[in-house]
Structure 1
Amino acid sequence: MSELAVVSARSARLKVLAEAGHKGAATAIRLGENPGRFISTVQIGITLVGVLSGAFSGATLGSRLTQWLSAQGMTEPLASALGVGSVVVLITYLSLIVGELVPKQIALRNPELVAARMAGTMVVLSRICAPLVWLLDGSGRAVLALLGQKGSGNGTVTDEEIKTVLAEAQSAGVIESEESQMISGVMRLADRTARGLMTPRRDVDAIGVDDTVDEIREKLNESQHSRMPVRNGNSDEIIGVMPVKSFYDALARGADIDIRALTHEVPIVSDLAGAIDIIQSIRKTSQHMVLVYDEYGHFEGIVTSGDILEAITGAYQEDGEEEPALLMREDGSYLVAGWTPIDEFVEHIRVPVDDDPDFTTVAGYVLDELKRIPSLGESFVKNGWKFEVVDLDGRRIDKILVSPVPLSDPD
């Protein structure tokens, strides 16, 4: 029971108990940190109980039952076999039930509490049997070294294990499905770079520093954003961001409009910057926006606080016109927007993707597979799925139809 409880107990829950003042929880944590010594202690106890029960059952209870059967008129060989055999079977049965199955069931039902309560006893036993524990632990380490198993085991928690825990918590009703999706979104966010978060350059609404007031008003009326990047002439150079409110306030006062005076500088990040670094940069500016540039100094796009939120909760629709990222059809196929982030796509359709791919969207995945700009209707098969380009917006892949391929149809 102690062994299974300590092994099954989650360190996070034990830490909570320890912080609440439970001394046994802190002891259980220390036992878990040295599994070799702990397992050696447990094995000494198990072996000792097994040896004593075997010797006691055969030498004491078995002989007494044999004598009683002989007194009842049974022959000596039959009485000896039946007496010893019956005691061995009974002791084995009780050992399995009382010594194995029931304690393990108790340990599995509440491993942290059992581990905390039994940890003190195991420490005492370890100290009493210290020479044997040292011998067994050292011998075990030596054999592991001969087998090439040096060092400690890999106890890190993977993303898949966290997702499994979330799925179990959702099934048990501990958390809502929306909460689980947001937690998964936070995990995806931490793995993204600026290229996977930004609004690309071609989709960025911007005004020119030399635009007239009427041109600016027209662009602002067509845009729904509260801040507008300001471009230096016809180039891709972005000199900063202009709050829309500042423009209309100056217009209402009847003052001369000086776009440069209304423009605020914002941080610039690399297109390879991680999401955590981007969030820190956004928090440092009142405009809640950063500009993304590549290694050659070319403007690539922008990342706003809204982009960060969408990465966690999913894309928001604007006036009901925003297309869904992924739509499942009745025949089991999926209509996928080219801009769909590849990590969200992989969560729905288990297509193996490299840990650090050079693309961030499904359109990028298609381009990486084909190694060229595809034609309308072009397709390929990958890992049991057929990817067909069904809509192009110029040279940009707009829609992909992803369909399962029957096992009998390898092409």
Structure 2
Amino acid sequence: MTKYYLMLALFFGLSAFFSASEMVFLSANRIRLENSAESGSKLAALALKVITNFDNTLSALLIGNNLSNFALSSITSVVAITLSGGSSRLTAAFAAVLTVFVIIFCEAIPKILAKQNANSLVIFLAIPVRIVTLVLLPFVLIVVGIVKIITFPLKGNEEITDEESAALELQTIIEIAEDENVLDEDRSELLQSALEFFDVSASEAMTARVDMAAVDIEDSLDEILKEIEDSPFSRLPVYKDSIDNIIGVLYQNHLLRAMLDNPNPDIKKLLVEPLYVYKTVKMPQLLSSLRAAQKHIAIVTDEYGGTLGIITMEDVLEQIVGEIWDETDEVEDEVVERAEGVFELDGDMVISDFLDLIDRDESEFPCESETIGGWTIERFGHFPKVGDSFKFDNLLVTVLEMDGHRVERLLVLESPTEE
């Protein structure tokens, strides 16, 4: 009987090892491991390799755990039958005791201890777990292949790329850090904005064509100076015949400096060649283009080459740090929460920000426009009047302000959804 008791102890230990290893590699701090690996720790590098290929590792650990538990069950049955003299009741009692022991000592306690000490245990378990994975690799490949065959019909058409997966992982880490008071709210928002920065397009951050300040090359000097005086911008696009034909950018300081030498300077000689960007270009690429061209302003165009608006270096930076106000800006909050679930919104608020506000997914929010004002016009099917309202799911949207054909302010009432 001694050999059976030794085998029981062996497989109890193996079962606990597999359970603990699974929890350790699920809970270990990857960033800490990366820092240790960069400092020269070979064990940390191996542990990182195990985590990187965790699908195979997890399959190996689960197979090993199931084999250990199966062996435990078989050996216990032999021991129980031998000790009980074949009594079915005693055999059943042994089986019940084994089940309790496995749950407590091979599952619960190892996993609790492993989670509490994951960062220290991961180094020591890296080699044995790697060996187990290699030994069980043939079985792992069979299991993984079967799983792929079974899950293939369930896969969607769109797969998450490595970049998207990494972004989602970082977003989750930031949210957890804020919940655990590791990051304050301001720093958390800054990091979230930095992540979203990569998805924001030029058309979402630009000053729209209707809000642009621009001058015609045929305008008189007095008209140009008046436009500069009325405009909050220090750089003005200059067009010929049509705003779709921008021929340059006039810098206010260049004009004023030239006027010191000549009261009526040649405007054409003062123009700086414009930088054009397409409406879908993302913020990182746009920032690189502005820096490479050493410019602070770019003209945003559509697929027909027409002018959609302008975007400045300040607009780009605001996507990370939030609105930057100066003494010439008329401060107006984009979102005013009047009460719980009641929001007053600026019509120029981009759809992605609105979806974040109401916690909706883009897939369940059909919209061709890029702003909440444009979406409102879409829903009406015509240009609304002040006081007009419509319902969308649990949202009641009311037009508060119009500027010609443009929706300036909206009131959105969000009703609780039924579970």
TM-score of the pair, normalised by structure 1: 0.81
Question: Could you say which residue in structure 2 is the equivalent of 1:293?
Answer: 301
CA contact (8 A) 2:350 2:372 kept: yes
Counterpart in the other structure of 2:405: 395
Distance (Å, rounded) in 1 between the aligned partners of 2:141 and 2:154:
13
Q: Distance in 2 between matches of 1:101 and 1:365?
A: 52
- Say if 2:101 is the partner of 1:98: no
**SS of corresponding position for 1:147:** helix
Map of 1:193 onto structure 2: 201
Corresponding residue to 1:114 among 97, 121, 135 = 121
Amino acid paired to 1:345: F
Query: Following TM superposition, by how much is the alpha carbon of 1:361 offset from its aligned partner in structure 2, in angstroms?
Result: 1.0
Partner of 1:240: 248
* Matched residue, 2:356: 347
Cα drift, residue 278 of structure 1: 1.9
Distance 2:251 2:120 in 1: 57
User: For residues 230 and 263 of structure 2, what CA distance do their matches in structure 1 show?
Assistant: 23
Q: Are the counterparts in 2 of residues 167 and 180 from structure 1 also a CA contact under 8 Å?
A: yes
Decide whether aligned partners of structure 1 residues 271 and 134 sit closer, same or farther in structure 2, where only a CA change above 3 A counts. closer
Task: Indicate how the Cα distance of structure 1 residues 335 and 150 shifts in structure 2: closer, same or farther if over 3 A, else same.
Answer: closer
Moved more, 364-373 or 257-266: 364-373
Q: Give the drift of 1:298.
A: 1.9
Please give the residue correspondences for 1:272-287 in structure 2 after superposition, counting only pairs within 5 Å. Answer: 272-287=280-295
The question of whether the paired residues in 2 share the 8 Å contact of 1:229 and 1:241 is answered with: yes
Match of 2:189 among 181, 189, 192: 181
On the 8 A contact 2:341/2:415 being kept in 1, the answer is: no
Distance apart, 1:182 and its partner CA:
2.1
Q: How far apart, CA to CA, are the structure 2 residues paired with 1:155 and 1:407?
A: 32
Secondary structure, in 3 states, of the residue corresponding to 1:31? Answer: helix
Cα 1:142–1:231 shift into 2, 3 Å: closer
Post-superposition CA distance 1:212-260 (Å, at most 9, x none): 3333333222233222222325654221112211111122234641211
Distance 2:133 2:317 in 1: 52
Matches within 5 A, 1:111-260: 111-126=118-133, 130=135, 133-149=136-152, 156=162, 157=165, 162-232=170-240, 235-254=243-262, 256-260=264-268
Question: What is the CA–CA distance in structure 1 between the aligned matches of 2:240 and 2:175, rounded to whole Å?
Answer: 50
C-alpha distance in 2 between matches for 1:353 and 1:55: 53
Aligned-partner Cα distance in 2 for 1:151–1:32: 26
Task: Give the conservation status (yes or no) of the 8 Å contact 1:22–1:116.
Answer: no
The one-letter amino acid of 2:380's match is L
The answer to whether the 8 Å contact 2:243/2:307 transfers is: no
Which secondary structure does the structure 1 equivalent of 2:305 belong to?
Answer: coil
Q: 1:281 to 1:138 in 2, by over 3 A?
A: closer
One-letter identity of the residue aligned with 1:211: D
Per the alignment, in what secondary structure is the counterpart of residue 315 of structure 1? coil
* Other structure's SS at 2:339 match: coil
**Pair 365,9 (structure 1): closer, same or farther in 2 beyond 3 Å:** farther
Structure 1 regions of 5+ residues with no counterpart? 67-75
User: Is the Cα–Cα contact under 8 Å of residues 60 and 137 in structure 2 kept in the other structure?
Assistant: no
Deviation at 1:108, TM superposition (A): 2.3
How far residue 393 of structure 1 moved from its aligned partner, in angstroms, is 0.4
Q: Is the CA contact 2:244–2:305 (under 8 Å) kept in the aligned structure 1?
A: no
Question: 2:304 is paired with a residue of what secondary structure?
Answer: coil
SS at match of 2:197: helix
Asked if 1:322 corresponds to 2:334, the answer is no
Secondary structure at 2:362 match in 1: coil
The change in CA–CA distance for 1:155 and 1:19 in structure 2 (over 3 A counts) is: farther
2:373 corresponds, among 343, 356, 363, to: 363
2:122, 2:154 → 1: CA distance?
A: 25
Give the 3-state SS of the residue equivalent to 1:174 in structure 2: coil
CA separation of 1:220 and 1:154: change in aligned 2, threshold 3 A: closer
**What SS does structure 2 have at the residue aligned with 1:329?**
strand
Are the equivalent residues in 2 in contact too, given 1:317–1:323 (CA < 8 A)? no
Secondary structure, counterpart of 1:237 in structure 2: strand
Q: 1:154 to 1:25 in 2, by over 3 A?
A: farther
Task: State which drifts further: 265-274 or 211-220.
Answer: 211-220
Specify whether residues 254 and 77 from structure 1 end up closer, same or farther in structure 2 by C-alpha distance, changes over 3 A only: closer
Partners of 1:343 and 1:58 in 2: CA distance = 61
Q: Flag the 1:193–1:33 CA change in 2: closer, same or farther, 3 A.
A: closer
1:9 and 1:118 mapped to 2: Cα distance?
Answer: 11
In structure 2, runs of 5+ residues without a counterpart are 1-19
Paired positions, count: 392
Conservation of the 8 A alpha-carbon contact between 1:379 and 1:389: yes
Query: RMSD between aligned alpha carbons?
Result: 3.5
1: CA distance between counterparts of 2:74 and 2:317? 68
Paired position in structure 2 for 1:379: 389
CA 204–143 in structure 1, closer or farther in 2 if over 3 Å, else same: closer
Q: 1:124 to 1:191 in 2, by over 3 A?
A: closer
